[in-house]
Structure 1
Amino acid sequence: MAGQESARKLNHNHLGTEHILLGLFAVEGVAATALHNLGISQDAVREQLLRTAGFGTKPPTGSIPFTVRAKKALEMALKDALTLGHNYIGTEHLLLGLMRESEGAGAQLLRGFAAQHQVRDEVIRILNAPAPAPEPPPVVVGREPEIQRIMQILMRKSRNNALLVGEPGTGRTSIVSGLAQRIAQGGVPAGLAEVRLRAVDATMAVAEDPDRTVLFLDDVRPGDADALRALGRGRPRVIAVTDPGTYDALRDVGAYFQVVPVGEPTHGEAVGILKQLRREYEAHHQVTITDDALDAAVTLSARHITDRVLPGKAVEVLDEAGARVRMTDGTARTVDARHIAELFADRTADRAADGPSVDDRSIWAMS
């Protein structure tokens, strides 16, 4: 990722919104074009960042972790993509997400060169200009029953709002992204063909065409209960996402919403989801990922990462293995089951202060 390289060159041991901003200059796309059109250069932004943050004292090693604000900006990018009716996340959505995360260093740097509305207006202007439609990246689907159930709920006359309930990491938001892709490709019933998904906050006042808009509320919390009830009683239709703990405090919304449970996928389903994501991670890490690496990521994450769920934890393992292999010398960059197992060997060795370490390479060989 260009943001990782930007952080590494500055000896910064975190990946913040400022590094994502610098990385956008290095990637050909709408964001780089918009910044150029606004007279904002990478050198000027980097110089300003150095004045405020300076160089780090210790070069980072391994994969650089995202800051909380950087993660929030990425979430905002997904919401902007859905708001614009796009079934992909491009550099334009990342730029808009950086601006919406207004307290982040990236937004603060940008405000030194242009106002938020100027950046957004320029991105929208470029998007509306005649141009070939970008090819969307793979979307995590593998959840056909859930998508079919959501479509059936939306087609109802009453109680036509869906509430997805599942633990974070089960791919709740990805199911909605899969539905958005299905709508964009025309793979939905006629009653949903003209619908667009719009991501909103639970407390946002909405005035939309009730027949052609479906609102998407991600990560509903207990404090959103009143707003959720108000939206559920009205129009347009709503798809909301929450976790089981929050749902326990929201059970009375069942008068307006129908629950779609989102559990962990089976082993085979999780491997299938990783296969859909493989090309994206191969391109990012510039590696080749084998089938047995995907199977190992699911098998070993299910066995040893007990505080998280599939497919999220398997995706994290695959990403970490790709980052490690990318750092090695040589041109034969292939991620296989051995590299996945080595990650778990490291984890068990780190936790073995009270006893002998368990080498998961041996576990993998026997499984």
Structure 2
Amino acid sequence: MIAQELEVSLHMAFVEARQQRHEFITVEHLLLALLDNPSAAEVLRACSANIEDLRKSLTNFIKDNTPQVAGTDDVDTQPTLGFQRVIQRAIMHVQSTGNGKKEVTGANVLVAIFGEKDSHAVYYLHQQGVTRLDVVNYIAHGIKKSDPPEPAKGNESGASESEEGGERSEKASPLEQYTQNLNQLAKEGKIDPLIGRQYEVERVIQILCRRRKNNPLLVGEAGVGKTAIAEGLAWRITEKDVPEILAESTVYALDMGALLAGTKYRGDFEQRLKGVLKSLRDKPNAILFIDEIHTLIGAGAASGGTLDASNLLKPALSAGQIKCIGATTFTEYRGIFEKDAALSRRFQKVDVVEPTVAETVEILKGLRTRFEEHHGVKYAANALQAAAELSAKFINDRHLPDKAIDVIDEAGAAQRILPASKRKKTIGKTEVEEIVAKIARIPPANVSNDDRSKLQTLERDLKSVVFGQDKALEVLASAVKMARSGLGKGDKPIGSFLFSGPTGVGKTEAAKQLAFIMGVELIRFDMSEYMERHAV
């Protein structure tokens, strides 16, 4: 029932009480003995308790407040009711778990001690910042307490507080805990160089040099390079390629996940964020970068409350006490960020548009060496050109340059996983076409074939399978050729055609054959199936 280590601790508690000729053995005696119990001591250390401070406080309390028996006869020390309740509570708790655990350990007794809320044992544990929740979290889930304990207020701990002052001051600052130093990452070569985007970077630098409201907001679709601009600014700062006013600046990227993780109680999140903002105020050359800045609105707010992260940030932004770079998409900007007028007016919007195919090719050329070193292959020039062109043409759910970078990265990964005998040293256009076909889920032949050859024979091919509609097919083929000539906008449909005529003349067949010849997927809606109300 009771673990051997706990039996030893209980025996030592009774022996110590008899040697001191104490009339009773109390909960404080029990906690003092548990300080030498392996399982209980491990839990206390995981909860950031100072065991020596706790031992000193308990020893002084027991010495001053426990009655002693006079004389020289052996003392029959009796356990107090509180002592008995703690042991009984620990045994009942272990029995009620029903998980096959049979032995009561020192850690279980430590949890049971918190049931004696009026005891000095619990008071001294709270002085060390140890709560019942901390102990249970570590025993059940192995979660250590991340924050240091509250400074002890008793006279006994005054000396130890001064002794540990140096150690506590060496703990990580809020900036180290909840942000990433992009300048340091750039120095270590962990950030890819920024290719292009000269206008956007210069605009960001210009806004940062303002006296007030010096907070640029990068707005663009996912994958167009908003985060890369902030990283590129940090890289330019390390290379001294910025104006003198920003030469000593450091860019810190806020980690919202770390900021929210472990915030169990009301006020924990606000305290962390205020610590970050205070550290930024103390560093006049610091620049805060917040990716997905729209997540600040509502972050940390209690149910029905109005105080969230954005409201904590507003005063510092308007006064120019900190410099902040935000990044968000057009959808979130219009739907969330712009609705908070007080926050949005403190930022200066910088639109980050999707680069052209030619600009994407230049970006891929700049990143080529990084991917060649990682995958151990070479990229041919036509492979980079094909990655930009084909990804723009066939991958429609993402944006350049992100999807083109994904293509060359996956092409390198595809070669890397092959056996050495089958691996190619140089990735060409063919390998890129295969990857694009996999991502877009279309036949590889449709990617590799050139539209020119299809368009040249389009009219003849249509007439060979659809009969009696030569005039209509000529108009259709001419319209498709005009649309694919490149004169129209790339993000618009190739054409909208209305086939009219009686049943059975070849309207549906013409659409089917056009899709088959051009190598595109045909999605058919037969509206005769939706004539009844219940069919919709």
Same fold (TM over 0.5): yes
Q: Does 1:262 pair with 2:346? A: no
Q: Does 1:306 pair with 2:429? A: no
Report how far residue 157 of structure 1 moved. 1.2
Change in CA separation of 1:313 and 1:147 when aligned onto 2, cut-off 3 Å? same
* Paired letter, 1:278: R
| Map of 1:180 onto structure 2 | 234
Q: Does 1:243 pair with 2:329? A: yes
Q: What SS does structure 2 have at the residue aligned with 1:239?
A: strand
Give me the whole-angstrom Cα distance separating, in 1, the residues matched to 2:287 and 2:328.
17
Give me the whole-angstrom Cα distance separating, in 1, the residues matched to 2:179 and 2:385.
31
* Paired letter, 2:350: V
| Map of 1:324 onto structure 2 | 414
Report how far residue 236 of structure 1 moved. 1.1
Which of 184, 189, 212 is matched with 1:86 structurally?
A: 184
The aligned runs of 1:24-43 (5 Å cut-off) are none
Change in CA separation of 1:293 and 1:365 when aligned onto 2, cut-off 3 Å? farther
The aligned runs of 1:136-215 (5 Å cut-off) are 138-201=192-255, 204-205=273-274, 206-207=277-278, 208=280, 209=282, 211-215=284-288
Change in CA separation of 1:77 and 1:173 when aligned onto 2, cut-off 3 Å? farther
Residues 345 and 361, structure 1, Cα contact 8 Å, conserved in 2: no
Q: What SS does structure 2 have at the residue aligned with 1:359?
A: helix
Give me the whole-angstrom Cα distance separating, in 2, the residues matched to 1:306 and 1:228.
37
| Map of 1:233 onto structure 2 | 318
The aligned runs of 1:48-63 (5 Å cut-off) are none
Give me the whole-angstrom Cα distance separating, in 1, the residues matched to 2:250 and 2:314.
22
Give me the whole-angstrom Cα distance separating, in 1, the residues matched to 2:363 and 2:211.
33
Give me the whole-angstrom Cα distance separating, in 2, the residues matched to 1:310 and 1:149.
21
Which of 256, 260, 282 is matched with 2:372 structurally?
A: 282
Residues 212 and 318, structure 2, Cα contact 8 Å, conserved in 1: no
Q: What SS does structure 1 have at the residue aligned with 2:218?
A: strand
| Map of 2:48 onto structure 1 | none
Residues 87 and 184, structure 1, Cα contact 8 Å, conserved in 2: no
The aligned runs of 1:61-100 (5 Å cut-off) are 80-82=180-182, 85-88=183-186
Q: Deviation digits for residues 64-86 of structure 1, max 9, x if unmatched?
A: xxxxxxxxxxxx9996342xx31
Report how far residue 324 of structure 1 moved. 1.2
Give me the whole-angstrom Cα distance separating, in 2, the residues matched to 1:307 and 1:211.
41
* Paired letter, 2:184: H
Give me the whole-angstrom Cα distance separating, in 2, the residues matched to 1:144 and 1:317.
25
Give me the whole-angstrom Cα distance separating, in 2, the residues matched to 1:180 and 1:347.
33
Report how far residue 231 of structure 1 moved. 4.3
Residues 147 and 179, structure 1, Cα contact 8 Å, conserved in 2: yes
Residues 377 and 426, structure 2, Cα contact 8 Å, conserved in 1: yes
| Map of 1:362 onto structure 2 | 449
Residues 344 and 359, structure 1, Cα contact 8 Å, conserved in 2: no
Change in CA separation of 1:177 and 1:78 when aligned onto 2, cut-off 3 Å? farther
Identity %: 34
Report how far residue 264 of structure 1 moved. 0.5
Give me the whole-angstrom Cα distance separating, in 2, the residues matched to 1:346 and 1:199.
34
Change in CA separation of 1:256 and 1:268 when aligned onto 2, cut-off 3 Å? same
Structure 1 segments, 4+ long, off by >6 Å, are 364-367
* Paired letter, 1:250: F
| Map of 2:58 onto structure 1 | none
Q: Deviation digits for residues 135-185 of structure 1, max 9, x if unmatched?
A: 566423321111000000001112211111111111110111110010011
* Paired letter, 1:213: A
Q: What SS does structure 2 have at the residue aligned with 1:240?
A: strand
Residues 231 and 238, structure 1, Cα contact 8 Å, conserved in 2: no
Give me the whole-angstrom Cα distance separating, in 2, the residues matched to 1:77 and 1:183.
23
Residues 141 and 174, structure 1, Cα contact 8 Å, conserved in 2: no
TM-score calculated relative to the size of structure 2: 0.42
Report how far residue 299 of structure 1 moved. 0.5
Q: Deviation digits for residues 330-360 of structure 1, max 9, x if unmatched?
A: 3641111111112233456x457xxxx7521
Give me the whole-angstrom Cα distance separating, in 1, the residues matched to 2:386 and 2:212.
45
Give me the whole-angstrom Cα distance separating, in 1, the residues matched to 2:243 and 2:231.
17
Q: Does 1:333 pair with 2:425? A: yes
Where do 5+ consecutive residues of structure 2 fail to align? 1-175, 257-269, 299-308, 454-483, 485-536
Change in CA separation of 1:215 and 1:271 when aligned onto 2, cut-off 3 Å? same
Q: Deviation digits for residues 37-57 of structure 1, max 9, x if unmatched?
A: xxxxxxxxxxxxxxxxxxxxx
* Paired letter, 2:416: R
| Map of 2:291 onto structure 1 | 218
TM-score calculated relative to the size of structure 1: 0.59
Give me the whole-angstrom Cα distance separating, in 2, the residues matched to 1:226 and 1:363.
55
Structure with max Cα Rg: 2
Give me the whole-angstrom Cα distance separating, in 1, the residues matched to 2:236 and 2:284.
18
| Map of 2:363 onto structure 1 | 273
Residues 137 and 280, structure 1, Cα contact 8 Å, conserved in 2: no
